[in-house]
Amino acid sequence: MSPWPRHRIGDGQTPPGRGRRESPDSRLHSQRHEPTTPARRHRKSPAMPWCLIIDGPGGRRRIPLVAYGAVLLGSAPDCQIQVDQPTVSRHHLTLQVVDQCLQIIDIGSRNGSFLGARRLVVNAIEVIDQPTTIRVGEVDLLVTPIIADDATPYTVMTEPETVPSTTRIGATLATGSGDRFFRRELVDLLHYALTRPGEQAMLLAYAQACVRTLPLSRLQLSNSDDGLLLDWHQPGVADQGAALELVYGRQRWLLAAEVLPTPERVRHLAELGAALAALADTEPMAPLLSPQATLPITSLDPHMQRIFRRAARVASSDIHVLIRGESGTGKELLARHIHESSSRHAKPFVAINCAAFSEEMLEAELFGVEKGAATGVVARAGVFERASGGTLLLDEIGDMTPAMQARMLRVLQEHEVLRVGGHGPIAVDVRVISATHCDLDQMLADGRFRLDLIHRIADWEVRLPPLRERPVDIVPLAVTFLLAATRPRGIKVRGLSRAAADALLTYDWPGNVRELQREMARVAVFLDQDSLVMSADLGHHIRSRRRDGGVGNLQQQLDHAERQIIAQALCAADQQVSVAAQRLGVSRSTLYRRLRDLDLLPEGAETKDAASD
């Protein structure tokens, strides 16, 4: 139960997901309540949640059961838990969590419900206090107690039922509404929606933008089944003030603050969220933005956002780029983004892994082969020729031999290649983006990499941080990958439980984004319709392995922790250094100094802070 009294815009009697559905425009009434003081509230220990695991011909489903009243199970569409099997009655049985037990009542099913060989008596309460298997028709139901965080959705994914009009977005952009939220956030959110990230990823980004810009102490966003997309509390602020609740289509918003926005204001926020979500989940009718304006990669981390902004500037030029970072951090994705945002976007993007070939084979792959260079060899172009006019990604350039580095230096200087066995140079016009996970500084010191080649390939050099250094991106990325993996199968997943999200956030992710993507793809294979991803669905190494705090000396560990704390504070403060400094309890000059030391200073931060003084 929420600690705040609730003000519902909509049906004040029907719990979400358990009664009739109403359209967004069918109701609006208002009543303000004062908060109840803790001294006058009677609190009892919470009921223990249970999990219903359904094994049947369709696969396995995990559904959490919590103390929200009786849940109806049967084959009829109006059941909260539908088991579409001919041996299951339309209304077969009910399940209800009471204190530490689970109560089951067979409500007159045709084929009965069985505990082992014993058939349950119709309309009699059966109390279960330990893991038990119930036979319902030809379907096995396993009920077992679980930890509270595995019963609490952290984020949910559902498909839209209707496509709201985007007229409200255009009207808001046109008027500006005199509001910082609309001035600073809505254009970026619209650009993100046009990259088609999907409904739930868009709603998550929208809700987090509301958290950053609105003076709230709490925000909950859920779907009609009361599964949480976001459950945010202001850190260090006790539950206080009244709460306002809005039901808009399948969305349910709950906002708490000392001074609440008007119902009309909250309805406006919900309409914008629904319109953005629909736009993000549909194919474009026509090109709404040029290729240079779209952003195929997003991040909530301030340092990554800064990298993306700089990459957009670099894309408008033809300078060469060197991307450093661990394997799986998204080096090729950033390279593709630079190419697609540049004037070369209509020309080829060609990538080659330099570590995958021997020196002789790499030479042929890079520069091409002339006919007759060896017995049976036919002429073929190398990647420089194939990428002419476009962009060439030299992945793992740190694995090149010194001899190949010398040949690369000449190609970059003269803008021409000589095929293996060829007699004359071939002019090429290529933008080169290089990537490596190697420590080039150490290789330079050891004489294993040429300094003059570094000067040629690194007009702009950038390091992509590993996923463990930007934890704010872990859950949104997991949601995106899970949606991508389940959509081709037509599976609707309820989302991630809080325990599953906590496991993802505490794992070290040595394989970075690529490892997270593969883990979500593996999880999706074993999910069935309407499942909630729980901690048990994740790999054992993720559930049991915490981040290794023993790597590096004490100062390195302190710097790592400080970086995460400051990055999260900046994100919560909408990149305003003065606000972040106040929340962290340090002076603005101290925070500026640490931001420069950690390379986290947002672009234009000093100018914005000076303007606000």
Residue 347, pLDDT score? 94
- For the CA atoms of the chain, what is the radius of gyration? 28
Domains in the chain, ordered, with CATH? 50-145 (2.60.200.20), 153-280 (no CATH), 302-463 (3.40.50.300), 467-544 (1.10.8.60), 554-612 (1.10.10)
How far, in Å, CA of 83 to CA of 199, rounded? Answer: 26
Q: Decide if 323 contacts 331 (C-beta within 8 A).
A: yes
- Per the CB < 8 A criterion, the answer to whether 207 and 230 are in contact is yes
Token output for 109 = 């099913």
* Exposure on the CB side of residue 537, measured as CA atoms within 13 A: 30
Report pLDDT for 287.
31
Contact status, residue 569 vs residue 555, Cβ threshold 8 Å: no
Give per-residue burial for 539-553: e unless 16+ CB within 10 Å, then b. eeebbeeeeeeeeee
Tokens representing 19 are 């009664």
Q: For residue 410, what is the enclosing H or E element?
A: helix 402-414
Place of tokens 């289509």: 249
State if pTM tops 0.75. Answer: no
Residues 6+ apart with CB under 8 A from 375: none
**DSSP state string for 276-302:** HHHHHTS--SS--S-TTT--S---S-H
What residue ranges of the chain have pLDDT lower than 70?
1-46, 55-60, 68, 152-185, 187-188, 191-192, 194-196, 223-228, 235-242, 260, 263-264, 282-298, 373-376, 530, 545-561, 564, 571-572, 574, 599, 602-613
Euclidean distance between CA atoms 611 and 48, whole angstroms: 52
Q: 325: phi > 0 → left, psi -120 to 50 → alpha, else beta; which?
A: left
H helices, E strands: number in the chain: 21, 26
Per-residue CA distances from 391 to 7, 332, 387, 388, 480 (Å): 56, 12, 6, 7, 28
From CA 169, how far away is CA 186, in angstroms rounded? Answer: 8
186 alpha carbon, distance to own chain's centre: 19
pLDDT at site 394? 95
Cβ 107 vs Cβ 93: under 8 Å:
yes
Segment 534-570, tens digit of pLDDT: 888 899 889 876 554 444 456 656 666 677 678 777 7
